[in-house]
Structure 1
């Protein structure tokens, strides 16, 4: 994929991986749409990205999402690439974690990202082109202690993406699931604790993780190469992700089922 001239929309674009993706996409010639809740921080990212469109809203607000989707499509006549990236992490034992923390993390990391994608898949399929990038996590392949809610959401996002990839396999729309390991961002500092408050401090692993700009380059290179799973991690985290990598032959098998009319037959039963 050549990103030059493409319109790329990113949720969670005010910092971390989202901001780094926006900057790298802009460097590769894309027109970038930035979304998040903090308009001032989005403006700071936009100042480093050339021509951009800022759409500030809460991803859990369905009406605001629908309005933003219409504006993103109208900006330059379509959205070519979308990154479901907004998310909140967790640092708490399951035995101590309130159910509201589970609800909050799943609402942002899973349900809202599905809603974001659902608003675009019809548009992309009708055009016969497009790419969807889902930012899961190594914790979306391997159950990591102190992150039960986060793992549940990120595993769920990967499952949605895999099923969607099969459904869209004959449409010209590609689906890419991205599994970062430790990337040097504020993810741990902003993680929720057992009672839903922010942790307020980082982890050594995160602080010494892959620089966000390097991670963003690897993600975009993977999409450009057509990779359906993109593992962006180092050391033991990379090894864990590779152990759980889905074979391309399985993705091909699912796409073959769709090509042979699996969905049409199921609807007729």
Structure 2
């Protein structure tokens, strides 16, 4: 699959996996739309890319700003071919110690806001009858990991939304991909929320020694090009855990087959 001339819109694009995906897709000939909260950091990433770029800064929790950004993205060049729901925040705290506000914040950012952004874009991609929707979950979205109960809840939820959406769109030419990274060398641990909602401020050794963001981006985009539905980007024990919990293609095919056989039409008629 060639990405030449396609437009990829990436949220959480100011650093880490998001910025690396922007660089890699640009290197493969795609136009890039960069979104995140920090306009200056987005502009710096745009400055590294030798392709057509658009910077659309907004906070994913601001519905009004998100809808305005969606309208601009759709109206730029030839519309959006690839959308990456990548914005997110992690956690490092035991459930018994964690304030409920932390659960609400992480689930709002990592799950609800990602669903809202996708829902806003759905009429565009379904009308075009083509495109790719990517949801950056985590190995912690397939396996419950201690000290990350809120993060796991949000990332498991994102997988569920994506899997159901994939089935619904399976007859409409739109591909849905779930990406489950393990440890990637980003600031995810440093920026993680602690029990009271404050930033942790320090990284983990396993994260610092993780997969380079550029390598993770290359693997992800190669898998998208191969139309792989669930993409595990991990090594060692994390890879083994992810593979143990991988959703089998046979099951994904079975659910898509329900849609092809008229399941949704029947449900609509009965409602």
**TM-score class normalised by the smaller sequence:** over 0.9
Asked if residue 111 in structure 1 is aligned to residue 112 in structure 2, the reply is yes
Alignment of 1:151-170 (within 5 A): 151-170=152-171
1:77 CA displacement: 2.5
Point out where structure 1 has 5 or more consecutive residues left out of the alignment: none
- Provide the rounded CA distance (Å) in 2 between the counterparts of 1:122 and 1:165: 15
Deviation at 1:116, TM superposition (A): 1.0
After superposition, the C-alpha distances for 1:210-241 in whole angstroms (9 at most, x for unaligned) are: 00000000000000001000000000000000
Q: Does 1:17 align with 2:17?
A: yes
Partner of 2:85: 84
TM-score, with structure 1 as normaliser: 0.99
Q: Following the alignment from structure 2 to structure 1, what is the Cα–Cα distance between the partners of residues 230 and 147?
A: 25
Alpha-carbon offset, residue 267 of structure 1? 1.2
2:33 is matched with 33
Partner of 1:259: 260
SS in 2 for 1:59: coil
Query: Aligned partners of 2:226 and 2:256: how far apart in 1?
Result: 18
Moved over 4 A (4+): none
In the alignment, which residue of structure 1 is the partner of 2:49?
49
User: Which 5+ residue runs of structure 2 have no aligned equivalent?
Assistant: none
CA distance in 1, matches of 2:64, 2:130: 26
Cα distance, 1:260 vs. partner? 0.7
Q: CA deviation at 1:119?
A: 1.2
Partners in 2 of 1:16 and 1:255 — Cα distance? 33
1:173-193 per-position Cα deviation (integer Å, ceiling 9, x unaligned): 000000000000000000000
Alignment-derived partner of residue 5 in structure 1: 5
Alignment of 1:64-83 (within 5 A): 64-83=65-84
Q: 1:253 & 1:122 partners in 2: Cα distance?
A: 25
Do structure 1's residue 198 and structure 2's residue 231 form an aligned pair? Answer: no
Offset of residue 268 of structure 1? 1.3
Cα RMSD for the two superposed structures: 0.5
CA–CA distance in structure 1, aligned partners of residues 150 and 246 of structure 2? 22
**Aligned pairs, number:** 269
Q: Deviations over 1:141-167 (max 9, x none)?
A: 000000000000000000000000000
TM-score (norm 2): 0.99
Alpha-carbon distance in structure 1 between the residues aligned to 2:110 and 2:156: 10
The residue aligned with 1:146 is 147
Distance in 1 of aligned mates of 2:57 and 2:90: 21
Instruction: Report whether the alignment pairs 1:248 with 2:244.
Output: no
SS in 2 for 1:145: coil
